[in-house]
């Protein structure tokens, strides 16, 4: 309206408002706007306040503008305080509910209706479906990525609350929203005006029902972390090559990259040493292996030499024997720590009983002694908890699970698409070292045990785009014998 009022044709002469606070709630901005309009021959008139152009009326208008601005700020402060207090009491403050929830009436206070979030059964099932697709797929494919999950939902007719198609960004936010699993929704994290973050100590947590199990949420976060472009290159996650990211040159350790050529109208694909390709033969003589040949050797090697019940049982038995050898020393340490914790608690209990019975008085020396014993007990408890957490779970040889795992893996390697086959291979294989006369498949027995048991594993990836992240290759340059399993072809 103001812009139109300043046009050369001047379509109107007067702007009428009920009061100046309906026109602006900032005294300086209001004066600048009124003076700008007056230069173009347009007057601003208030129905309930003086609008003359004499000095006293101008002064009164400016004072009114200042008071309106102060009143607006005071109302804003009181509103924010009331909303924060409402959030502290666990009520929802009126914004749109996240997908999977609905706003319901919690109680009435006079004319005011207090609201809370409750689970929307239909939308909650969509949220669970999103997590299931990302972790497991739809039963005919392997686990899907964020983009593929979005495509699947849209192609199968799923829509957002407003009837729109799903987007990659909103779906990623659903996968990373911890409130679905923790049942705690944050209020007051950002300033609504400028988007800046508030002090974390002022953020309020509102209790809401959970939709996703914490174990499922943690598995999703682990997979998101592994698929992060800053950790794993996108070509490794989404590329068409089966062994990209795990195939390495046995001579120089560089990754085997996908190369190709066209001869007589026919395309040929190879895995080539990245060190030779990028730095020349002075670094590595290089090797080129037809992609189909290397893929076939690795897949057949896994099926014939690893994914058989007898071989899997043998590997798990080795792991069980190694863990058993460590059990005695670990048990001795756990026993000693437990004894230290018990002894500290007994001493504290005797001191407390002496104080209650009036045998001793609580003076400064005794306070220091109690504090020292508490510190010693807490330290022993922390050490005990850490030792228990570091204890490896004993390898359990379950023949039914081993048979099922071997059959499922073989079936997926035979019938799955490239993405599914790549996912299953990477779940048990750390690297494929390609040499001139042998191909060495390296994996961890601990990871294999977890995969058979159906547990989520992480490979501890580092940022994949940081060159020379381990500058000195003088330690751990190859997996130790106790960790790796080799296949020669």
- In sequence order, what DSSP letters do the residues of 168-188 get, joined into one string? HHHHHHHHH-THHHH-EEEES
Cα–Cα distance list, 284 to 233, 276, 323, 470, 475 (Å) = 23, 5, 40, 20, 21
pLDDT value for 212: 92
User: What is the side-by-side order of every strand in the sheet holding 266-273?
Assistant: 256-263, 266-273, 288-290
pLDDT value for 372: 83
The total of other beta-carbon atoms located within 10 Å of residue 117's CB is 22
Phi-psi region of 247 (alpha: psi -120 to 50; beta: other; left: phi over 0): beta
pLDDT value for 469: 47
CATH for 101-227, options being 3.40.710.10, 3.40.50.12780, 3.40.50.720, 3.90.1750.20: 3.90.1750.20
CA distance 423 to 444: 16
Q: Are 256 and 298 in contact (CB under 8 A)?
A: no
- Domain chopping of the chain, boundaries: 2-88, 101-227, 235-305+399-453, 325-390
Residue 47 CA neighbour count, 13 Å, CB half: 5
pLDDT value for 488: 39
The total of other beta-carbon atoms located within 10 Å of residue 31's CB is 16
Cα–Cα distance list, 419 to 93, 327, 465 (Å) = 43, 40, 22
pLDDT value for 176: 92
Per-residue pLDDT of the chain (489 residues; tens, 9 = 90+): 888 988 888 888 999 999 888 888 888 888 899 889 989 889 898 888 877 778 888 888 888 888 888 888 888 888 888 888 888 888 888 778 889 999 888 888 778 888 888 999 889 999 999 999 998 888 777 788 888 899 999 998 888 888 888 998 899 999 999 999 998 888 877 777 777 777 777 788 888 899 999 999 999 998 888 777 665 555 555 566 777 778 888 888 888 888 878 888 888 888 888 888 777 877 788 888 888 888 888 888 888 877 777 777 776 777 666 666 656 666 676 777 788 888 888 888 888 888 877 777 777 777 788 888 888 888 877 777 766 665 555 555 667 777 777 777 787 777 777 777 777 777 778 888 888 888 888 877 666 666 666 555 544 444 444 444 454 444 444 444 434 444 433
Name the pairing type of β-strands 247-249 and 184-187. unpaired
pTM for the whole thing? 0.51
Tell which residue, 219, 274, 263, 285, has the closest CA to residue 241: 274
pLDDT value for 127: 93
pLDDT value for 233: 58
Q: Are 448 and 312 in contact (CB under 8 A)?
A: yes
pLDDT value for 14: 92
pLDDT value for 489: 37
Q: Are 137 and 130 in contact (CB under 8 A)?
A: no
pLDDT value for 483: 41
Q: Are 380 and 337 in contact (CB under 8 A)?
A: yes
CA distance 269 to 242: 12
């Amino acid at each position: 309206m103001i812009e139109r009022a300043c046009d050369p044709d001047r379509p109107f002469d007067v702007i009428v408002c009920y009061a100046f606070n309906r026109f602006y709630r900032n005294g300086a901005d209001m004066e600048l706007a009124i003076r700008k309009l007056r230069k173009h021959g347009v007057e601003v008139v208030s129905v309930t306040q003086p609008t003359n152009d004499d000095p006293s009326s101008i002064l009164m208008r400016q004072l009114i503008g200042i008071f309106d601005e102060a009143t607006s700020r005071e109302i804003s402060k009181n509103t924010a305080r009331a909303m924060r207090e409402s959030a502290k009491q666990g009520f929802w403050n009126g914004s749109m509910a996240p997908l999977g929830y609905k706003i319901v009436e919690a109680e009435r206070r006079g004319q005011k209706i207090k609201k809370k979030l409750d689970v929307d059964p239909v939308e909650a099932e969509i949220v669970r479906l999103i997590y299931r697709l990302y972790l497991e797929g739809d039963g005919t494919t392997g686990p899907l990525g964020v983009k593929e999950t979005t495509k699947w939902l849209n192609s199968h007719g799923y829509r957002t609350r407003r009837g729109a198609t799903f987007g990659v960004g909103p779906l990623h936010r659903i996968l990373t929203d911890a409130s679905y699993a923790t049942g705690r929704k944050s209020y007051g994290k950002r300033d609504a005006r400028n988007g800046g973050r508030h002090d974390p100590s002022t953020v309020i947590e509102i209790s809401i029902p959970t939709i996703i199990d914490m174990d499922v949420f943690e598995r999703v976060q682990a997979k998101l972390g592994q698929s992060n472009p800053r950790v794993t290159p996108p070509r490794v996650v989404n590329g068409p090559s089966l062994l990209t990211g795990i195939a390495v040159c046995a001579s120089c350790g560089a990754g085997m990259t996908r190369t190709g050529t066209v001869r007589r109208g026919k395309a040929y694909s190879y895995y080539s040493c990245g060190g030779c390709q990028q730095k020349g033969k002075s670094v590595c003589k290089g090797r080129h292996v037809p992609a189909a040949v290397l893929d076939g050797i690795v897949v057949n090697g896994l099926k014939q030499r690893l994914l058989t019940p007898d071989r899997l049982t043998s590997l798990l038995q080795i792991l069980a024997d190694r863990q058993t050898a460590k059990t005695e020393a670990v048990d001795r340490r756990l026993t000693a720590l437990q004894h230290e914790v018990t002894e500290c608690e007994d001493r504290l209990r005797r001191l407390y009983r002496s104080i209650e019975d009036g045998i001793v008085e609580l003076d400064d020396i005794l306070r220091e002694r109690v504090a020292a014993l508490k510190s010693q007990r807490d330290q022993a408890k922390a050490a005990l908890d850490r030792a228990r957490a570091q204890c490896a779970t004993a390898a359990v040889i379950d023949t039914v699970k081993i048979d099922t795992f071997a059959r499922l893996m073989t079936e997926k390697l035979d019938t799955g698409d490239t993405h599914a086959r790549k996912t299953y291979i990477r779940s048990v294989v750390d690297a494929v070292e390609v040499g001139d006369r042998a191909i060495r498949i390296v994996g961890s027995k601990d990871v294999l045990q977890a995969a058979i048991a159906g547990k989520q594993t992480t490979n501890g990836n580092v940022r994949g785009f940081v060159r020379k992240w381990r500058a000195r290759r003088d330690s751990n340059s190859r997996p130790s014998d106790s960790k790796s399993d080799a296949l020669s072809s």
